[in-house]
């Protein structure tokens, strides 16, 4: 009976000292860099989370009220994401599932974070 060999994929390259190699932040602005779907999805997700947190804190501190500001947040967030992958990275969006898949990456989590930050700051600062 033949024993199967276990194959380990080295997804995270290690340095000689055994530590994981750091993510290269220069890759974030390099249009020549190669991206796989998971990496690009993670970057778009976290950019959207940062935008959501900043907008939520700002909206709550000003204080802004009304549903129009949720729509404005969605437009700002989606515009930043679109500008990032289309104009800065210059990737072919069809390789990553099209505009819809890229623009939807991290959207619902960012709406939640935006609303949480907005409501929390507004309630704490103005009541």
pLDDT of residue 127: 87
b/e sequence 35-53, b meaning 16+ C-beta within 10 Å: beeeebbebbeebbbebbb
Tokens of 80: 């930043």
Cα distances from 25 to residues 5, 28, 33, in angstroms, run 36, 5, 11
CA distance 86 to 93: 8
How many other CB atoms are found less than 10 A from the CB of residue 85?
22
- pLDDT beneath 50: ranges in the chain: 1-12, 14
Domain coordinates in residue numbering, the chain: 35-126
Please report the pLDDT score of residue 69 as a whole number.
Answer: 97
Question: What's the confidence (pLDDT) of residue 18?
Answer: 55
């Amino acid at each position: 009976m033949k024993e199967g060999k276990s194959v380990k994929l080295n997804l995270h390259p290690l340095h000689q000292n055994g530590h994981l190699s750091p993510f290269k932040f220069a890759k974030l602005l390099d249009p020549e860099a190669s991206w796989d779907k998971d990496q690009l999805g993670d970057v778009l997700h976290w950019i959207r989370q940062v935008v959501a947190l900043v907008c939520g804190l700002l909206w709550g501190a000003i204080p802004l009220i009304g549903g129009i500001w949720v729509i404005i947040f969605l437009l700002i967030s989606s515009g930043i994401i679109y500008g990032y992958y289309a104009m800065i990275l210059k990737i072919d969006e069809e390789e990553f599932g099209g505009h819809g898949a890229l623009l939807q990456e991290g959207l619902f989590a960012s709406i939640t974070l935006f609303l949480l930050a907005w409501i929390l700051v507004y309630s704490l600062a103005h009541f």
